[in-house]
A and B are shown apart, each in its own frame.
Chain A
């Protein structure tokens, strides 16, 4: 049990370090073409807004969507799976989740 806790703590520390290193080297900055903000709106509005925006975009463009309802992350993951889009990164700060997708 303490071994598991120590391992988990070590993993968290390493993850944080890698995250910081990425931020310093600028590896995680992707050129975003459009940004959608649906903070404060509930399902199904995030899904509908995302679908409408993606329909107006071309293959290869990048969109960032920010939301904070409880199933926001799963919704976007499902959308990518169904439509064949690529999920580039997920950033969580508290309840607000920001996800970047390549169409």
Chain B
């Protein structure tokens, strides 16, 4: 029997949607199905390391990032969006009932009380189970993301052609 595969694309930067995406990824991977997770514009937020407001984020290493980031066309907008869009799995907003930041705290308490895994645990467990993480290159470049700054060590940066091939070969494609 041919091996089944699944793609999940996370475009939303909300806590509830990211939780759904990673629960599915873990579920499919645990059943032995090959999972490829894609991340687009706001999807990177759940993978970023949370830094303080004034901490110096390491500059992207030109040799390593040259393949994915066109550093010559960076202007003032990239640092600005890095400042405003710090992200981090523990600091995502909710899509509804955000209550100016109170929503995610209450939501987190609710999940913890019921012993449900947190988003960071789900991400690491997905990595352990062999889920492949891929990112969209143009959004990666435009939003000023750096590959070294993510909590998952091996992330591939690919284009839309790879996405098209992955989805055509997959049995289930999700857009979250």
Which residue numbers of A lie inside 8 Å of B, CB to CB? 40-45, 47-48, 50-52, 78-79, 82-83
Give the docked Cα–Cα distance between A47 and B122 (Å): 12
Contact of A47 (CB < 8 Å), options: B30, B33, B115: B30
Interface code B111-131, partner A: CB below 8 Å = 1, 0 otherwise?
A: 000111100001001001100
- List, sorted by A's number, 6 A–B pairs whose CB atoms are closer than 8 Å: A42-B116, A44-B117, A44-B122, A48-B129, A51-B129, A52-B129
Interface band, chain B:
10 to 19
Contact B30 A51 (CB under 8 A): yes
Contact B23 A44 (CB under 8 A): yes
Give the docked Cα–Cα distance between A42 and B115 (Å): 6
User: Which residues of chain B have C-beta atoms less than 8 A from A82's C-beta?
Assistant: 31-33
Q: Confirm or deny: B29 has a beta carbon within 8 angstroms of a beta carbon on chain A.
A: yes
Q: Confirm or deny: B7 has a beta carbon within 8 angstroms of a beta carbon on chain A.
A: no
Give the docked Cα–Cα distance between A98 and B23 (Å): 24
Q: Confirm or deny: B27 has a beta carbon within 8 angstroms of a beta carbon on chain A.
A: yes
Contact B31 A78 (CB under 8 A): yes
Q: Confirm or deny: B12 has a beta carbon within 8 angstroms of a beta carbon on chain A.
A: no
Q: Confirm or deny: B45 has a beta carbon within 8 angstroms of a beta carbon on chain A.
A: no
Given contacts A40-B115, A42-B115, A83-B31, contact A52 B26 (CB under 8 A): no
User: Which residues of chain B have C-beta atoms less than 8 A from A50's C-beta?
Assistant: 30
Give the docked Cα–Cα distance between A46 and B79 (Å): 42
Give the docked Cα–Cα distance between A55 and B79 (Å): 44
Contact A44 B115 (CB under 8 A): no
Give the docked Cα–Cα distance between A82 and B171 (Å): 15
User: Which residues of chain B have C-beta atoms less than 8 A from A44's C-beta?
Assistant: 23, 26-27, 30, 117, 122
User: Which residues of chain A have C-beta atoms less than 8 A from B29's C-beta?
Assistant: 51
- Expressed in whole angstroms, the minimum distance between the Cβ of A40 and any Cβ of chain B is 6
The 5 residue pairs across chains A and B that have the minimum distance between CB atoms: A51-B30, A82-B31, A47-B30, A42-B116, A42-B115
